[in-house]
C-alpha cells in the first residue's frame, strides 16, 4: 500500500493523506507562522507518512520549491497543480470566477462529500486550507489512477 500527501501550500498549510485504495486517511491544517519554520518542518511532515509515494502541491513559489526539493531528495513523485486545474474537475464553470468567500464555501461542502466518499474521519471543524488539501488530494488520486470514478455528488 502507498500513500499520497496533498499540500495546500502556504505558511498556513493544509494537508490530506490519501491511500492508493482510495481512502482518505487523515487531514488537517497548521500555521507555521514563517517560511523558515515551515522549511525546517517539511522533513518531519513527510516522515509522518511511512508509505508515502506521491506529493501533490497546490501553489508555487519558494514554499512549493522547498516541498519539491525535499520530496525529490527522497525520490518521491511530485505533482504541482494550480487551483484552476483541480477546480475544473469539481466546480461548475460559472463557479470558477467566484469570490474567495464563495469558493471557500463550495470547497468546504465538496470536501465534506469527499471525506464521506473516502471514508475519512468526520470533521468537527474544517479549515478552508484543509478542505482544499482534501480536494487536491482527491484530484491527485484520480490523476494517479488510484480512484477510477467519482460519485455524482462530487462532480458538478
* pLDDT tens for each residue of the chain, 156 residues long: 899 999 999 999 999 999 999 999 999 999 999 999 999 999 999 999 999 999 999 999 999 999 999 999 999 999 999 988 998 888 877 776 666 778 788 889 999 999 999 999 988 889 999 999 999 999 999 999 999 988 777 765
CA-CA distance, 98 to 109, in Å (whole number)? 15
CA-CA distance, 11 to 76, in Å (whole number)? 22
Confirm if 88 and 136 have CB atoms less than 8 A apart: no
Whether this model's pTM surpasses 0.75: yes
Ordered domains of the chain (ranges, CATH): 3-154 (3.30.420.10)
DSSP three-state, residue 80:
strand
b/e per residue, 6-40, with b = 16+ CB within 10 A? Answer: bbbbbeebbbbbbbbeebbbebebbebeeeeebbe
Q: DSSP code of 50?
A: T
Amino acid at each position: 500500500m502507498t500513500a499520497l500527501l496533498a499540500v495546500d501550500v502556504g505558511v498556513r498549510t493544509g494537508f490530506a493523506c490519501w491511500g492508493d485504495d482510495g481512502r482518505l486517511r487523515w487531514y488537517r491544517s497548521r500555521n507555521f507562522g514563517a517560511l523558515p519554520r515551515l522549511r525546517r518542518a517539511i522533513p518531519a511532515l513527510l516522515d509522518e507518512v511511512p508509505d508515502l509515494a506521491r506529493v501533490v502541491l497546490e501553489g508555487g513559489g519558494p514554499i512549493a520549491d522547498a516541498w519539491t526539493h525535499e520530496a525529490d531528495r527522497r525520490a518521491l513523485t511530485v505533482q504541482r497543480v494550480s487551483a484552476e486545474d483541480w477546480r475544473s474537475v469539481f466546480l461548475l464553470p460559472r463557479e470558477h470566477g467566484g469570490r474567495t468567500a464563495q469558493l471557500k464555501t463550495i470547497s468546504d461542502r465538496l470536501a465534506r462529500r469527499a471525506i464521506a466518499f473516502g471514508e475519512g474521519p468526520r470533521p468537527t471543524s474544517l479549515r478552508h486550507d484543509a478542505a482544499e488539501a482534501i480536494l487536491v488530494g482527491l484530484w491527485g488520486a484520480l490523476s494517479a489512477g488510484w480512484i477510477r470514478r467519482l460519485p455524482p455528488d462530487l462532480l458538478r
